Structure 1
Amino acid sequence: MQAWQVHENGEPGEVMRLVETDRPEPGDGQVLLKVRAANINFPDALLCRGHYQVRPPLPFTPGVEICGETEDGRRVLATPALPHGGFAEYVVADEAALLPAPDALDDAEAAALHIGYQTGWFGLHRRAHLQEGETLLVHAAAGGVGSAAVQLGKAAGAQVIGVVGGADKAEVARELGCDLVIDRRTDDIVAAVKEATGGRGADVVYDPVGGDAYAKSAKCVAFEGRIVVVGFASGSIPSPALNHALVKNYTIMGLHWGLYNTKDPRAIRRCHEELTELAAKGAIKPLVSERVPMAGAAAAVQRVADGVTTGRVAVLPQGGAA
């Protein structure tokens, strides 16, 4: 089969190689899946660079979420078992963790529903307890993680403010349903949020960026607001001033979605059931901006790493328009 492999750490476009290799063999409790669509996530770039919290042995295949097909023909969502990631024609995955692919979504959309939307749902509902009528501030609102949070926020009845970088991404954020879009390159984020909320600030902040985005969030979070720390796409990990959190009376909370796979897997299934229902109603629909063939995977991962994409980019190992 064909698979992309990383033999040394570095930039995805430089270190990913397309090779012919054997299909992975399922271990105990695992199943072999044919990959119908593999979604590109920022952690795939971090894996290539050797900067992710998980460091599989070299050589490995990146690709942390897929829509696949079981040997008996079922469409499922899965997180492949590294080092045999999703940018390949076949993967193995834990059978107990398979989730049924929603009928309302095609293969590429279904692949994009998994990690990003699960992260958004747990962050906004389980952690931050977002309420109808509250104001939600989403950083990187046109990206894969941010776009999911925007849609979930709107589905929950929140007023959603999206922060983006550039006019093209601002247009995407508006199409996703943001009530207000702030271009961090030209606008004052803090002033714009305070003006939009009558000086109150954002009740919930969803931050997959870190760095300056977090610093701005702390300046415009509301009384009893909640800042959900999802990741550090900027490459800069902030050091929060806890005295500031004390005097402004807001909460800083982290979200590591992957921990629920071991700590509370039933919660993941309940979340998936709700996401499936929202997709069936049309309340959420993953934004897939590109569908690339197998040969284009390395260049696509590099574009995601460089922050120039919107929504999700899907790799189609079997060809076609999944």
Structure 2
Amino acid sequence: MRAVRCETHGDPELLMVRDIPEPVAGPGEVVVGVQAASVNYPDVLIVADKYQVSVPTPFTAGSEFAGTVRAVGEDVTGLRIGDAVMGTAFGGAFAEKIAVPASALSPVPEGLDMVQAAAFNVTYRTAYHSLTTFGDVTAGEWVVILGAAGGVGTACIDVATRLGARVIAAVSTPERAQACRDLGAAETIVYRDENLKDRIKEITGGGADVVIDPVGGHYSEQALRAIAWGGRFVVVGFAQGDIPRIPLNLILLKGAILRGFEIRTLAQRLPEVVDRGRSAIATLVAEGMKPHVSEIHGLDEAPKALARVAQRQTTGKVVIDTTR
């Protein structure tokens, strides 16, 4: 089968499409025929060996996918050949087939096609839990989303507006700002043209109630300085590459709550929260919630797709269609 292989850590352009042996379903595992796989920013970091966990080469890139069950291993119940599923893995998604534990899979929600399902799981679970489980967002609150035009950012806009919050989308260009307004953001701030701290205070009339930060870098402190007293600041990731050093006196003076959220370990630490979130997200999907997919590439174009995400040239989600 064909797979996108990382043989040397570095830029996405170093990735190669290779023929490798097909996976076999071991005990408790399922082989899925991948029809679509989405690009997440951590995929770029893993390929570059800049992620929190280092993956030795060679490996197949990709962490999120949707497709149909092709084989079921021993001790697997509840899944049959032909079932439409979506799932996550630490690697292996950018391939025609992948073997994963059955626990890594869930049914494709009614109303989503395979491309949408591949783009849905990581970003929307991240958005939902960062906003609700860790951000305690309520209707009417001002929510600042940094990196709002990216995959997680656009999902946060979608979920937050459906929860009744007022979204301020912080982005890098006017074009990305327009894309966020089209998705429902009440206000936008363009980093390069406006002072983030001053504009947040101006728009909100005193400070943001919640900040969702998947970006890091120097924007984090600016946003924290613009938070209201008692506000919540949720750290989701560091897409900019730099981990900020936050002055803790800001937390003290503002009575702020600073929380970190990592989707990779949430099910291990808070399984009951994940179950409730799955039900709530399914309800939102039934009401029409869908991921914003801006680009679809074939498997051979995977290096280009990752490079575009790495260079922040996209809005929403970028998806690899293995059938192209």
TM tier relative to shorter chain: over 0.9
Question: Shift in Å at residue 113 of structure 1?
Answer: 1.2
Deviation, 1:100, is: 0.9
Are 1:196 and 2:195 matched, yes or no?
Answer: no
- Look up the match of 1:94: 101
Letter in 1 for 2:62: G
Q: Which moved more, 1:216-225 or 1:256-265?
A: 256-265
- Kindly state the Cα deviation for residue 266 of structure 1 after the two structures are TM-superposed: 4.3
Instruction: Indicate the larger mover: 271-280 or 292-301.
Output: 271-280
SS in structure 2 at match of 1:301: helix
Partner of 2:73: none
Deviation at 1:57, TM superposition (A): 2.6
In structure 2, distance between residues paired with 1:7 and 1:123 = 34
Over the matched positions of the two proteins, sequence identity in percent amounts to: 36
Aligned pair partner of 2:290 in 267, 279, 285? 285
Question: Number of paired residues?
Answer: 314
Rounded to whole Å, the distance in 1 between the matches of 2:230 and 2:250 is 13
Alignment-derived partner of residue 296 in structure 1: 301
Q: Residues 180 and 81 of structure 1: is their aligned pair in 2 closer, same or farther, counting only changes over 3 Å?
A: closer
CA contact (8 A) 1:161 1:182 kept: yes
Are residues 42 and 81 of structure 1, via their aligned partners in 2, closer, same or farther at CA, if it must alter by over 3 Å? closer
Contact 1:31-1:70 within 8 A present in 2 as well:
yes
| Counterpart residue identity of residue 112, structure 1 | A
Instruction: Please say which of residues 185-194 and 36-45 is displaced more in the overlay.
Output: 185-194
Check conservation: 2:196, 2:219, Cα contact below 8 A. no
Counterpart of 1:242 in structure 2 is 248
Distance 1:208 1:73 in 2: 36
Letter in 1 for 2:302: A
SS at match of 1:34: strand
Distance 1:228 1:164 in 2: 17
* 1:306 Cα deviation from its structure 2 partner: 1.0
1:96, CA displacement in angstroms?
Answer: 1.9
Kept after mapping to 2: 8 A contact 1:65/1:80: yes
Partners of 1:226 and 1:139 lie apart in 2 by 14
Aligned residue for 2:282?
Answer: 276
Q: 2:112 aligns with which of 105, 109, 115?
A: 105
Deviates more, 1:18-27 or 1:261-270: 261-270
Post-superposition CA distance 1:83-103 (Å, at most 9, x none): xx1110000111023111112
Aligned twin of 2:24: 25
1:64 is matched by which residue type in structure 2? S
Report the CA distance shift for 1:46/1:240 in structure 2 as closer, same or farther (over 3 A).
Answer: same
Report 1:1-322 matches (<5 A).
1-13=1-13, 15-71=14-70, 72-80=81-89, 82=91, 85-198=92-205, 200-282=206-288, 284-319=289-324
Gaps of 5+ in 2: 71-80
Q: Report the residue type matching 1:234 in the other structure.
A: Q
Judged with a 3 Å threshold, the aligned counterparts in structure 2 of structure 1 residues 142 and 152 are, in CA distance, closer, same or farther, namely: same
Worse overlay, 154-163 or 50-59? 50-59
Deviations along 1:226-255, one digit per CA (max 9) or x if unpaired, are 110000111110111111210111111100
Pair 1:69–1:60, CA change in 2 (3 A): same
TM-score between the two structures when normalised by the length of structure 1: 0.95
The code of the aligned residue for 1:7 comes to E
Distance (Å, rounded) in 1 between the aligned partners of 2:164 and 2:42:
30
Equivalence for 2:76:
none
In the alignment, is the contact (CA less than 8 A) between 1:66 and 1:77 conserved in 2? yes
| Distance apart, 1:263 and its partner CA | 2.1
